[in-house]
């Protein structure tokens, strides 16, 4: 017999106040938190369906696209990745993937599980895939998809996209982009750069809670879906079913995460009010502040300046410092969270986020002040 519930054993929920300066989640504006307290309605309520249309319009503005198929997947950025791959890949389809960190590796694994034949372009962590490398691979064969990570969260490198988008289109391939860490933090031009499928995340530069993945498909990608010879292997992530709920038909598919969609709408409104160019400049400005301060303290940035993300900074610690000990002291003594290294960078770097609501002068000064005392 199971033990009876003892509610008196559990206190009211109370979480510590943190400075969220890791690779995600970022901090959330009070307006977003207030939006989440809005009373629930049904996911087929007429007022809620109007809200869905507003979210789609706002997302198109942030992604700089006119794509009709633009919607948030119910799931994190990894769900967006998997959704794009299982919908666009059929068994035996070839996909060319640039691998420059953990999230390129994840694309490869998800593509293989979807039945794709994976070809890789590998570069050292902290570097980017050059257009010439993609051109060389396209001359060796004709993949159905070319896939890249725009902002590699494990290294802090920003992948140039426009020329590669042109190369993919000339080769007749679809261009798939991971924009989880780039969306609303750096420039992303879905239509202008020839991106056919893109997915993001809500918990980074959009500064909403984790749990949704904005996705957009070009008309070319939608045509590829219609030409599938086999059904999408995932019922939950099937774009044809999701599109029917988010499109004109409003056909029931699953119970949408209503509160999360309230949050996303408010977060997108904040982005629109600030303006994309102003938002990008804010991220660059606070990155420069962080760069100057960390350099004075003996930190070294992993990525060369030309390809360095402003919102996700991968840094090596001063010689002789134990990264885990210093990171723990930051959290315990100052309430500041920074991220550890992943994969090949585990134990070697920190990943410091200045994303969305976490990109402020106060965040930079708090971190630099704490480090100055801990390193003294």
Spatial strand order in the sheet of 312-316: 300-301, 312-316, 349-353, 339-340
Same fold, 19-25+276-374 and 30-272: no
What pLDDT is stored for residue 1 in this prediction?
A: 67
Mean predicted confidence (pLDDT) in 306-327? 97
pLDDT one-digit tens code per residue, 268-305: 999 999 999 999 999 999 999 999 999 999 999 999 99
Residue 350: helix, strand or coil by DSSP? strand
Instruction: Please give the pLDDT value at position 256.
Output: 96
Does position 319 have pLDDT exceeding 90, yes or no?
yes
pLDDT given for residue 7 in this prediction: 78
Q: What is the mean pLDDT of residues 246-254?
A: 93
Residue for token pair 């982005």: 271
Long-range contacts at 273-280 (CB < 8 A, ≥ 24 apart): 276/61, 276/62, 276/64, 276/184, 276/187, 279/184, 279/185, 279/205, 280/185, 280/186, 280/187
Distance CA 37, CA 192 (A): 38
At 8 the pLDDT is 80
Q: Extract the tokens encoding 260.
A: 């999360």
> What pLDDT score does 5 carry?
81
Closest by alpha carbon to 284, among 314, 315, 310, 313? 310
Say if CB 243 and CB 66 are below 8 A apart. Answer: no
pLDDT bin (cut points 50, 70, 90) of residue 9 is confident
The whole-number average pLDDT for the span 176-191 is 98
Mean pLDDT of the chain: 97
Encode pLDDT of 96-129 as tens digits. 999 999 999 999 999 999 999 999 999 999 999 9
Please state which architecture CATH assigns to domain 19-25+276-374.
Alpha-Beta Complex (3.90)
**pTM for this structure?**
0.96
Mean pLDDT throughout 148-162?
Answer: 97
Which segments of the chain does DSSP mark as H helices, in order?
30-36, 46-63, 77-88, 102-113, 131-140, 162-170, 219-226, 239-246, 258-274, 276-296, 323-334, 361-374
- Say what the pLDDT of residue 6 is: 82
- CATH class assigned to 30-272: alpha beta
Q: How confident is the model at residue 3 (pLDDT cuts 50, 70, 90)?
A: confident
- Residue 186's pLDDT is what? 98
Predicted local distance difference test score (pLDDT) of residue 169: 97
Question: What's the whole-number mean pLDDT along residues 331-355?
Answer: 97
pLDDT (mean) for 224-240: 97
Burial readout 12-44 (b: 16 or more C-beta within 10 A, e: otherwise): eeeeeeebbbbbbbbbbbeebeebbeeeeeebe
Confidence of residue 2 (pLDDT cuts 50, 70, 90): confident
CB 257 within 8 A of CB 74: yes
The ranges assigned to domains in the chain are: 19-25+276-374, 30-272
* Mean pLDDT calculated for residue range 191-197: 98
pLDDT tens per residue, range 359-376: 999 999 999 999 999 998
pLDDT band at residue 4, thresholds of 50, 70 and 90? confident
Percentage of the chain lying above the pLDDT 90 cut: 96
Per the CB < 8 A criterion, the answer to whether 234 and 86 are in contact is: yes
Give the whole-angstrom CA distance, residue 332 versus residue 272. Answer: 36
- Asked if pLDDT for residue 133 goes beyond 90, the answer is yes
């Amino acid at each position: 017999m199971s033990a009876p519930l003892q509610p008196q054993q559990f206190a009211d929920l109370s979480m510590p106040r943190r400075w969220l300066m890791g690779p995600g989640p970022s901090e959330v504006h009070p307006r977003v938190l207030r939006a989440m307290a809005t009373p629930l309605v049904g996911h087929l309520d007429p007022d809620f369906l109007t809200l869905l249309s507003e979210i789609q319009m706002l997302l198109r503005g942030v992604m700089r696209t006119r794509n009709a198929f633009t919607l948030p997947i119910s799931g994190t950025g990894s769900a967006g990745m998997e959704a794009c791959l299982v919908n666009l890949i059929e068994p035996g389809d070839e996909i060319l993937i640039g691998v420059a960190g953990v999230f390129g590796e994840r694309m490869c694994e998800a593509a293989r599980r979807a039945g794709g034949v994976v070809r890789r372009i590998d570069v050292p962590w902290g570097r980017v895939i050059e257009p010439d490398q993609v051109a060389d691979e396209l001359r060796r064969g004709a993949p159905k998809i070319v896939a890249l990570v725009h902002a590699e969260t494990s290294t802090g490198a920003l992948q140039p996209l426009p020329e590669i988008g042109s190369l993919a289109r000339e080769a007749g391939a679809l261009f798939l982009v991971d924009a989880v860490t780039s969306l609303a933090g750096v420039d992303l031009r879905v239509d202008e750069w020839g991106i056919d499928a893109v997915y993001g995340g809500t918990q980074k530069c959009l500064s909403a809670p984790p749990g949704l993945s904005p996705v957009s498909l070009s008309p070319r990608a939608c045509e590829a879906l219609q030409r599938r010879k086999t059904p999408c292997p995932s019922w939950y992530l099937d774009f044809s079913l999701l599109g029917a709920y988010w499109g004109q038909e409003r056909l029931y598919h699953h119970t949408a995460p209503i509160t999360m969609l309230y949050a996303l709408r408010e977060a997108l409104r904040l982005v629109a009010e600030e303006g994309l160019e102003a938002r990008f400049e804010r991220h660059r400005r606070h990155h420069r502040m962080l760069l100057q301060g960390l350099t004075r303290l003996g930190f070294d940035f992993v990525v060369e300046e030309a390809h360095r993300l402003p919102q996700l900074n991968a840094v090596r610690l001063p010689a002789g410092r134990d990264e885990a000990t210093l990171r723990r002291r930051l959290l315990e003594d100052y309430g500041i969270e920074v991220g550890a290294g992943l994969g090949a960078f585990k134990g070697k770097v920190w990943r410091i986020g200045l994303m969305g609501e976490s990109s402020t002068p106060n965040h930079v000064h708090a971190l630099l002040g704490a480090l100055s005392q801990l390193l003294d």
